[in-house]
Chain A
C-alpha cells in the first residue's frame, strides 16, 4: 500500500526557516518523482516543484524558485521541502505528492504551516 506520511503542523515566526518532510512507503521511492504543492487558506493548489530522487533531478516552478528548496534522502525514503525566510503569506497547507509523467497520482495528508508573529 502506497503511503506518504508528512511531518506535523508547524507554527513559525516571520524570518525563520522550516524544513518539512514526507516519508514514502509501499513503492520504490528512488524511481518515482515526488513533488510539492501549496494550498493557501481557502485558495487554489499551486505547484512548487518536483524531484526525481534517483538522480536528484529537481524542477522548480519559476514562481517559487529561490523561495523553496526540495531535497530527498533515499536511505529513508523521505522527501523534504525547505521554506526560507518565512513570511505571513507562507501560511498554507503543503502537500507532497507522488509524481508520474504529467501528473500526481497519490497525495500525502498535508502539513499545515502557520507563520505569525
Chain B
C-alpha cells in the first residue's frame, strides 16, 4: 500500500496566522491518465470528513479561498492563509492514484 505521511501531527496556531501541513507519499501519485489524485479532507470535532481539495490543488465548492494546496509527485502541502476558529479539526490527505486508496495519519489543528 502507498504510505501517506503527514507532518506535523499537531499544529497549534494563533488566530489570524497562517498554517501549513505537508503530506508525503511513498510512491509517486501521478496516475496513468496524467492526473494526480491527492485530496485533502477536514474533519471538525464530531463531524464526518469534508473534502476541501481534490487533484492536488482544486478547491471544492464552498471552500473558503484561505485554503490552498500544491505539490507534485510525492510531496504535497495544504495551507491556510489566516486560521479562523472554524478551522479547528483534523486534516487528512488521501491518495486515490493507487489501490487501495490510503489516508495520512491526520494533523490536528488547534488554536493556541
Which A residues have a C-beta under 8 Å from some C-beta of B? 37, 44-47, 49-50, 59-63, 95, 97, 100-110
How many A-B residue pairs lie within 8 Å, measured between CB atoms?
A: 67
A47 to B104, alpha carbons, bound, how many Å? 11
Asked if residues B31 and A102 are in contact (CB atoms below 8 Å), the reply is yes
- For residue B12, give the distance in angstroms from its CB to the closest CB of chain A: 18
Chain A's closest residue to B47 (CB) is A109
Question: CB-CB contacts of B47-61 with A at 8 A, as 1s and 0s?
Answer: 011110011000010
- Residues on B lying within 8 angstroms of A by beta carbon are 1, 31, 35, 37, 39, 41, 48-51, 54-55, 60, 92, 94-97, 99-106
Smallest CB gap from A50: residue in B: B101
Least CB separation from B35: chain A residue: A102
User: B100 touching A103 by the CB < 8 A rule?
Assistant: no
| CB-based contact B48/A108 at 8 Å | yes
A37 cross-chain contacts in B, Cβ below 8 A: 49
Contacts of A44 in B (CB 8 A): 92, 103-106
Given that A103-B54, A105-B60 are known contacts, is A59 also in contact with B31, CB under 8 Å in the complex? Answer: no
Interface of A is mostly: strand
Q: Note all chain B residues with C-beta closer than 8 A to A47.
A: 100-103
Chain A residues with CB under 8 Å of B31's CB are 102
Extra contacts, 9 of them, besides A45-B92, A97-B49, A104-B39 (Cβ < 8 A), are: A44-B92, A44-B105, A45-B41, A60-B100, A62-B100, A95-B48, A101-B37, A106-B51, A107-B50
Bound complex: CA A102 to CA B91 (Å): 18
Interface pairs (12), CB distance under 8 Å: A44-B92, A45-B94, A47-B102, A49-B100, A60-B100, A101-B37, A102-B35, A103-B51, A103-B54, A104-B39, A104-B94, A106-B51
Docked complex Cα distance between A45 and B1 (Å): 14
A5 nearest CB across to chain B (Å): 12
Chain A residues closer than 8 Å to B100, beta-carbon distance: 47, 49, 59-63
- Please give me the residue from chain A that is nearest to B99 by CB atom: A59
